[in-house]
Amino acid sequence: MRLEQLVALWGDPIGGALDPALPLPRVCTDSRALQPGDLFVPLTGELHDGHRFLAQAAEAGALAALIDRTRAAERPAALPAWPVDDTQLAYQQLARAWREQLAAPVIAVTGSAGKTTTRELVRAVLAPLGPVLATSGNENNDVGVPLTLLKARSSDAAVVVEMGMRGLGEIERLSRCARPDVVVITNIGTAHIGRLGSREAIAQAKCEITAALSPAGLVVIPAGDPLLEQALGAVWSGRVRRVALIGDAAADVVHGSGDAAVLLGQIEGDPGAADGAWLKLLAGPGIAEGAAALAPVASAEGASTGEAAALPAAFRVPLPLPGRHNARNLLLALAVALELGVRTDQLQALQVEVPGGRSRRLQIGAVQVLDETYNASPEAVLAALDLLAAQPGRRFAALGTMLELGEQSEALHRAVARRAADLQLDGLVIVDGGATGAAMQEEACALPRLARVHSPAEAAEALLLWLQPGDQLLLKASRGVALERAIPLLAAQLAGAAGVVPV
């Protein structure tokens, strides 16, 4: 991609001539990280305005900038610029133009819960194809998605883009920016229901991911969600591959039905264990034949021969992350891998690194801790509680507030506390001093140990009164609670010089 394509988008720059044959330079939206020769894109938000740093960008040696045309008078004389109507929209247009130069397939991932974990699982299962670029951290919004796309290079074998949202229309914009070849919707839950009002609206928002999906593309979803099926059917008439675990209601319906659009998995071993569990993919009636449409045969050099390849009668892959919910996420990722031609023998040594605060096991002294402090939705908390309940020994949890649930907040928090009581945990700390925490306390009053506190520090104090060697502890809350602050406080008393050790 060259500067001449920016001229095609926005005309000639003002303030100086640039050689249109020059390659597109690195694109930077943060003046503090700007390097000589970069293209500076000042973004404007509720709390920031990058146009205030145009002079700083010029001094740092920026090649040129995109600027809001209403702010053109603020351009330093030494900085050529393209005036645009909206710098954020232009940033996305630039990323889309770059994406159209890429030969690598783009996989987009969204959902109410499990987006980041599934993104990392997709990255892992596609690794046999070559270098895979994926969204970093939580860069899954109007700024982060173009940032990821602009990092892609011709040497990348695939690009995996996570897409989050805070309202209707956002994922549609991201889809039109990324133009994906495969999309994955992990689930439809209640995260952000306070903003969108209903699960129906959430389903509609998530299905916006198909807005710019290639007509020959594929949608991968969990089987058995009528709400998702209805919302998807309203916007997509192309290929859909569903996945289900044996033991789920959805799998019971399709098992043996011959439905070639469903990829079935069966867990072997204890899914709650740190290792030693397997996911077996079953090729029941119709599934082996259906898999032929998924994956072309790869040659020894890794290139596709274009010939159809049938899935073996059954094959197993190790579960890299604990929990039945993560087995479902792995099934979604495997459907992507088969679509893009990964051979089954290349899936036996998956290396998955999930960002901190997600499915992270820690050893703090003689206590095993499941660190889920990054974020929380009702579905994710319930899944984490089920995983905790499957662990040996005494089981404790510290649960903080789940945010953005609107009018349904109290009912959903009550449901979470009720599950903790039904699972007969040995103790629960509720990190919320308000009405929501009081409702949770009421639901969990039958537990033998129960505390309600206002802060992560107070949560650590309460837990330290209970924890003994061999205990299991879950920490989970929305990002705003900052429950991870309890970890070093626990370590100071439980771990001594050993500190916190990842398991």
330-383: pLDDT as tens digits: 999 999 999 999 988 888 888 888 877 777 889 999 999 999 998 888 999 999
161-208: pLDDT as tens digits: 999 988 899 999 999 999 999 999 999 988 878 888 899 999 999 999
Local confidence band at 305 (pLDDT 50, 70, 90 cut-offs): very low
Of 95, 109, 209, 108, nearest to 152 by C-alpha is 95
Looking at residue 315, its pLDDT comes to: 81
Are the C-beta atoms of 91 and 43 separated by less than 8 Å? Answer: yes
Interstrand relation of 218-222 and 132-134 (parallel, antiparallel or unpaired):
unpaired
Are the C-beta atoms of 98 and 149 separated by less than 8 Å? Answer: yes
Model confidence at 26: pLDDT above 60:
yes
Q: What 8-state DSSP symbol labels residue 485? A: G
Domain housing 192: 102-346
Domain boundary among 317, 346, 375: 346
Whether residue 81 is found in the same domain as residue 179: no
> In the block, which residue shows the tokens 């099926």?
229
Model confidence at 253: pLDDT above 70:
no
Whether residue 140 is found in the same domain as residue 246: yes
Question: What is the CATH classification number for the domain harbouring 138?
Answer: 3.40.1190.10
Whether residue 272 is found in the same domain as residue 157: yes
Looking at residue 297, its pLDDT comes to: 31
Q: Among 38-47, 256-265, 371-380, 420-429, which stretch is predicted with the lowest mean pLDDT?
A: 256-265
- The count of structural domains within the chain is 3
List CB contacts of 143: < 8 A, sequence separation 6 or more.
29, 43, 88, 91
Which stretch of DSSP H or E encloses residue 67?
A: strand 64-68
3-class secondary-structure state, position 52 = helix
Instruction: Indicate left, alpha or beta for 217 from its phi (over 0: left) and psi (-120 to 50: alpha).
Output: beta
3-class secondary-structure state, position 427 = strand
Looking at residue 458, its pLDDT comes to: 97
Please list, residue by residue across 75-90, b when 16 or more beta carbons sit within 10 angstroms of its beta carbon and e when fewer do: bbeebbbbbbeebbeb
Question: What is the CATH classification number for the domain harbouring 8?
Answer: 3.40.1390.10
Average pLDDT, the chain: 88
3-class secondary-structure state, position 111 = coil
Bridge partner residues of 427 (DSSP): 396
Q: Global pTM? A: 0.86
Whether residue 82 is found in the same domain as residue 114: no
Local confidence band at 289 (pLDDT 50, 70, 90 cut-offs): very low
List CB contacts of 417: < 8 A, sequence separation 6 or more.
399, 428, 430, 439, 440, 441, 442, 443, 444
Local confidence band at 300 (pLDDT 50, 70, 90 cut-offs): very low
Whether residue 415 is found in the same domain as residue 452: yes
Looking at residue 274, its pLDDT comes to: 62
Q: Among 117-131, 249-263, 409-423, which stretch is predicted with the lowest mean pLDDT?
A: 249-263
Looking at residue 247, its pLDDT comes to: 86
Q: Give the CA radius of gyration of the chain.
A: 25
Q: Among 83-97, 169-183, 197-211, 246-260, which stretch is predicted with the lowest mean pLDDT?
A: 246-260
Quick check: is 170 in a domain? yes
Cα–Cα distance list, 488 to 279, 347, 376, 493 (Å): 35, 36, 20, 9
